[in-house]
Amino acid sequence: MTRLEPMIRSKADNLAKRLLAISSSATTGTVNAFLLCGLFSLEVVCKAGFGKEFPFEDTKDLTELLQAMDGSAPTFILDGLLPWLRPTGFAHKIPFFGEPYQCRRTWEQKSRALLREFLQLPDKDDGYFISPYLSSVDSFLGRKMNHEEFLEEAMGIMFAGSGTTSSTLAYLMYALSRPGYEAIQTRLRAELEDGGESVSELRKLPYLNAVIKETFRLYPTIISSLPRVLDEPMKVHGIDLPVGTVVNMQNYVHHRNPEVFPDPELFNPDRWLNSHADMESSLTPFSLGRRACIGLNLAWDELYIAVSSVFRNLELRLGDEMTEADMELEDRFNIAPVGRKLMLKVSKVKKLL
């Protein structure tokens, strides 16, 4: 991940600049940080995954791609329930189903265009997330992927590598910008100003880590149950579970276990400064084991760098138009605020890079 650090920092600085510029020019004095967090994470994954750069000044294409992915989320469920529907080619024209499938078509079209550009790169065979899929034999298929399978993998990388990190970053901003939480933001900024700027230095900052972990705890980006089928018998809390038993865990529930996290609904980063083993083992935003998120290192680095860039330079306050209801978690596999917005007042505390 070290080679990606300068690129991530550049995109994080763009995020900070956009937050300030848009809020300063808006008649309301606020900016939708949820959208800009999405643009940041999608810019990172498109560059790291496919070598695609988007212009800083013009975010139209990037925004359309982001909104198409978000609007496609219901099709993940519909494809499982009605697997025959999408192959007909008419799903986007059917009432009720039409809008998410139209978003899916837009997402697919933009992904095809992105892949066409990628395949023209002289260094396409090395250095990008999607590069290994060009030549390697898929262990499940027993052959190389065809173009449609390659496209599906590319779309999966875009979706998994953007919405998860952006939602975490948006909820971190929300948690620290609320009335009554100014001291947390001030304390974090002081630590960031005294610490270094490289990821290796940021990893060592205790309060930064505490703020990120507390965001993971209260706002885990995957709150759905992810079932697994046991391929060998297990005993859990004295209960014998035979082969074939379907088991799952849910981050939203065990992250709020009051026996492990006293006063569980309170956003309190201090709890992590003297954490115990049960707390650490109960925090599972990326899942655990062989099926843990393969992008967790990238996600951590993005959060370290983005939080550093934003809070070193800016002070955030929640917009007067925001309500708690706007930020209720909506489960679309990746969480998103119900209101699809996080309106913030932004002011500069030091000169932006």
Residue 144 confidence (pLDDT): 87
Tell me the angle at which helices 296-313 and 163-177 cross, rounded to the nearest 10 degrees: 30
Residue 216 φ/ψ, nearest 5 degrees:
-55, -40
The two structure tokens encoding residue 165: 């990190």
Quickly list DSSP for 219-259: S-S--S---EE-SS-EEETTEEE-TT-EE---HHHHTT-TT
Angstrom CA distances, 302 to 134, 229, 296, 343, stand at 26, 33, 10, 22
Which residues are CB-neighbours of 277 under 8 A, at least 6 positions away?
A: none
Question: Is residue 133 assigned to a domain?
Answer: yes
CATH number for position 209: 1.10.630.10
Q: Please report, in range form, the residues annotated as the binding site.
A: 293
**Which residues fall within 8 angstroms of residue 227, CB to CB, at 6 or more apart?**
246, 247, 248
pLDDT at res. 7? 96
> 353: helix, coil or strand?
coil
Is 244 part of any domain? no
Token couple for 172: 């971190």
The whole-angstrom separation of Cα 329 and Cα 74 is 16
Structure tokens given for 212:
């990120």
Contact 246, 229 (CB under 8 A): yes
If one counts every other C-beta atom within 10 angstroms of the C-beta of residue 324, the result is 8
* Structural domain includes residue 251: no
pLDDT tens digits for the chain (353 residues)?
Answer: 678 999 999 999 999 999 999 999 999 999 999 999 999 999 999 999 999 999 988 899 999 999 999 999 888 888 888 888 888 888 888 887 789 999 999 999 999 999 999 999 998 888 899 988 888 888 888 888 888 989 999 999 998 888 889 999 999 999 999 999 999 999 999 999 998 899 999 999 999 999 999 999 999 998 888 888 999 999 988 999 999 999 988 899 999 999 999 999 999 999 999 988 999 999 999 988 887 888 899 999 999 999 999 999 999 999 999 999 999 999 887 899 999 999 999 999 976 66
- Residue ranges of the binding site for heme: 293
Do residues 40 and 169 make contact, with C-beta atoms less than 8 angstroms apart? yes
Residue 336 inside a domain? The answer is yes
Let me know if residue 221 belongs to a domain: yes
Question: What's residue 352's pLDDT?
Answer: 66
Residue 136 pLDDT: 84
Predicted TM-score of the model (pTM): 0.93
Is position 216 within any domain? yes
Burial environment of residue 276 by CB neighbours within 10 A (0 to 12, 13 to 18, 19 or more) = exposed
In DSSP terms, which residues pair with 348 in a beta bridge?
Answer: 314
Residue 287 sits at φ, ψ, to 5 deg, of 65, -170
Asked whether residue 97 is assigned to any structural domain, the reply reads no
Question: Residue 303 in contact with residue 214, Cβ under 8 Å?
Answer: no
Helix (H) or strand (E) holding 32: strand 31-32
Query: Distance of CA 84 to CAs 204, 260, 317, Å?
Result: 51, 45, 48
Q: Which residue range forms the structural domain that includes residue 29?
A: 2-51+121-225+296-348
Domain count, the chain: 1
Distance CA 178, CA 176 (A): 6
Cα 247 → chain centroid: 25
What span, in angstroms and rounded, lies between the C-alpha atoms of 19 and 42?
A: 16
Contacts for 278-286: CB closer than 8 Å, 24+ residues apart: 282/254, 282/255, 282/257, 283/213, 283/216, 283/217, 283/255, 284/220, 284/249, 284/251, 284/254, 284/255, 285/168, 285/216, 285/217, 285/220, 285/221, 285/222, 285/251
Return the residue matching tokens 């909820």.
171
Q: Give residue 203's Cα distance to chain centre.
A: 19
The confidence score (pLDDT) of residue 320 equals: 95
- Of the candidates 322, 214, 213, the residue with the CA atom closest to the CA atom of residue 267: 214
Residue 124 pLDDT: 87
Specify if 181 maps to a domain.
yes
